[in-house]
Amino acid sequence: MEDIQKTKFMISIIEGIIFIVLIISSLFAIFEIISTDFIDYADVFGLLSLKVAITSIILFVALPYLIVYFKSIGERAVIKYNQKKFKSKFFDEIKENRSKEINILNFARKYDVNLIYVKNYLRDQISEGLLKGELKGDVFLIKEDFKIMDIKERRIEFMKQNIGRFISPHRSIKIREISSNFKVPRTITMLYIKKLINEEVLRGYLVGETFIRDLSLPENCPHCNKRIDLVEDEETIE
């Protein structure tokens, strides 16, 4: 309510100034038009006082709408910024808090985001497997066996648990597709795929940044009987 009153007061002051300019410029324009002999209409519209008067009329009519419009743009930008900040800090907050009961109303107030938005965000995290628990009113109860991690750790863990199911329908798949699906950095995804191939969890090989599934590949070389490594030795994810 206070913000609305301030906005109305600001509009009233600016409108008052524009109105005064409009009256003064209109009087000057009328005086010049009466006292000057013009050859054509172009000279009339070339008068500075008339230009100022016309501009003042336009501003006087349009200003309230322009102020409201730009104010709404600013408010939307602030809302998006707060939502982005909330999402980036959520898992860090609950990790530091070390509590299995999360008061989401406090989160909404702290980051100045809508409570419904917070609840929907929690539901999204649950559906993606990044969070486990139950929402009761304004309190979210985290499952006792759920290990609290930050968002990056949780996404990597979720990828490790579900990468087999995601890859299985594909004959070949690009690393960036896997990375995009699990929202995990491409380099980490690549290292993990190589780790799984070397450990024979995945049967296939890499061509550039594309994983090719090949269940017909032999585990051992038919000539030397040594295990076939499908990728070069490289640092792997623990």
**What percent of the chain shows pLDDT beyond 70?**
81
Cα separation of 167 and 170, whole Å?
A: 6
| pLDDT, tens digit, 9 for 90 and up, residues 61-79 | 887 777 778 888 888 899 9
Look up the CATH number of the domain holding residue 172: 1.10.10.10
Which value, in Å, is the radius of gyration of the alpha carbons in the chain?
A: 33
At 41, the pLDDT band (50, 70, 90 cuts) reads: low
Sign of CA dihedral 195, 199, 202, 204: positive
- Asked whether the predicted pLDDT for residue 191 surpasses 80, the reply is yes
| pLDDT, tens digit, 9 for 90 and up, residues 77-126 | 999 999 988 888 887 777 777 677 888 888 888 889 998 998 888 888 88
User: Does residue 225 fall inside a structural domain?
Assistant: no
| Same-domain check for residues 158 and 199 | yes
Structural domain that includes position 177: 151-213
| pLDDT (mean) for 128-153 | 78
User: Does residue 109 fall inside a structural domain?
Assistant: yes
Cα separation of 103 and 106, whole Å?
A: 6
| Same-domain check for residues 21 and 63 | yes
Lowest mean pLDDT across 100-104, 165-169, 221-225: 221-225
Total domain count, the chain = 3
| pLDDT (mean) for 189-210 | 88
